[in-house]
Amino acid sequence: MNLGRRSSKPSQHAVWVFLAPFALLTLVFVAYPLIQSAVLAMQQTYGPGTKTFVGTRNFTDAAADPVFWTALRNTIIYTLGSLFIQLPLALALALALNSPRLRGRSGYRLIFFSPQLMGLVFVSILAALMFEKQAGLINQSLHTLTGGLWSLDFPWLESHVMATLILISLWMYVGFNMIYFLAALQNVDHALIEASAIDGANSWHRFRHVVLPAIRPVGTFVVMLSMIGSLQLFELPFVLLEGTGGPRNQGLTVVMYLYQSGFEVGDLGYASAIGWVLALLLMSLACVQMWMIRREGR
């Protein structure tokens, strides 16, 4: 049979034919917009017909724009909240649900993961109702639990916007990240854990020196995923705060500011510049991730 010989020498044309759809789509929908957005970041436009070259002014304006810095600060606070509150909680939950002594583990896993099934916009709408003054579930519950000490007028969405966003994101993402940790925990070699127990290691030592190193690659991945997702936060505050950044921009994120500048004010050049700053930030984080993964592999 000559089939094997024919397939071992694919014609040069065939390679290009197979690559063409991907290459075409990438050129049209990735490469061209990328180049165009870099050009746009150095222009001020009112539609493609009316534009003027402004050089690096959009970037220098962003650097001097207090609203941009507020948005960046908020985004970083939210990201830190994700990393230092959300992920430890997710890990704790995964450890608890990994315990063979716990009954109904599958049910709990489903319950904790279920917010993911609803979608962020739906969760945001629900959260807006839950954090309302007077009739909102949160204020009503706290009011009842504290015997009336907690004010029904507690202004979650007025003076505590970032705390509210972090709380909602816990509800949304703790279960999601828990699944990753759970998968990693189920792959930890039980022989190692048993051996360390025989050697006299207590539960903390077993966790610190056996479990944690074993799940570190997944942990690194989850940290990076959370970080990048948090830096791109948009839908939750957008829906919750009705398209604004909330009172005094407490809930304004970088992507929301990009959206406001580009699609509400119509300053597409400035929005592109903000987009590029965010892209550079994300690229730097991706480089850090790659470096960490390489270090893990050694």
Interacting span for other proteins (CB under 8 A) from 151-159, 173-181, 209-217, 277-285: 151-159
Among the listed residues 54, 165, 256, 273, the single contact to other proteins using CB under 8 A = 54
Question: Which is closer to other proteins, CB of 132 or CB of 235?
Answer: 132
Task: Name the minimum Å distance from CB 226 to other proteins.
Answer: 30
Size of the site for other proteins (CB under 8 A): 29
**CA–CA dist 13, 276 (Å, integer):** 37
Out of 36, 60, 114, 134, the only residue in the binding site for other proteins (CB under 8 A) is: 134
Structure tokens belonging to residue 259: 């959206």
Residue 235 binds other proteins, judged by CB under 8 A: no
Dist. CA 148–CA 163, nearest whole Å: 22
> What's the sign of the alpha-carbon dihedral 158, 162, 167, 170?
positive
On whether the CB atoms of residues 245 and 251 are closer than 8 A, the answer is yes
- C-beta closer to other proteins: residue 7 or 52: 52
- Work out whether 133 is an interface residue with other proteins (CB under 8 A): yes
- Contacting residue, 129, 283, 287, 288, with other proteins by CB under 8 A: 129
Q: Applying CB under 8 A, which part among 23-31, 115-123, 130-138, 185-193 lies near other proteins?
A: 130-138
The interaxial angle of helices 66-81 and 212-231, nearest 10 deg, is 150
Q: What is the closest distance, in whole angstroms, from the C-beta atom of residue 50 to other proteins in the complex?
A: 5
3-state secondary structure of 44: strand
Of the two residues 43 and 86, which places its CB atom closer to other proteins in the complex? 43
267 binds other proteins (CB under 8 A): yes
- Is 29 or 291 the residue whose CB approaches other proteins more closely? 29
Query: In this chain, which of 29, 46, 69, 84 binds other proteins, going by CB under 8 A?
Result: 46
Question: Torsion angle, CA of 55/58/60/65, rounded to 10 degrees?
Answer: 170
C-beta neighbour count of 232 within 10 angstroms: 14
Using CB under 8 A, pick the residue from 96, 113, 126, 158 that binds other proteins: 158
Q: Is 249 in the site for other proteins (CB under 8 A)?
A: yes
81 close to 169: Cβ distance less than 8 angstroms:
yes
Residue 24 binds to other proteins (criterion: CB under 8 A): no
Count of alpha carbons within 13 angstroms of residue 136, beta-carbon side: 20
What is the Cα–Cα distance from 159 to 247, expressed in whole angstroms? 7
CB of 204 to other proteins, least distance (A): 44
Q: Nearest-CA neighbor of 172 among 96, 256, 239, 114?
A: 114
Q: Do the Cβ atoms of 142 and 202 come closer than 8 Å?
A: no
List of residues contacting other proteins (CB under 8 A): 44, 46-50, 52, 54, 61, 67, 129, 132-136, 153, 158-159, 244-245, 247-249, 264-267, 270
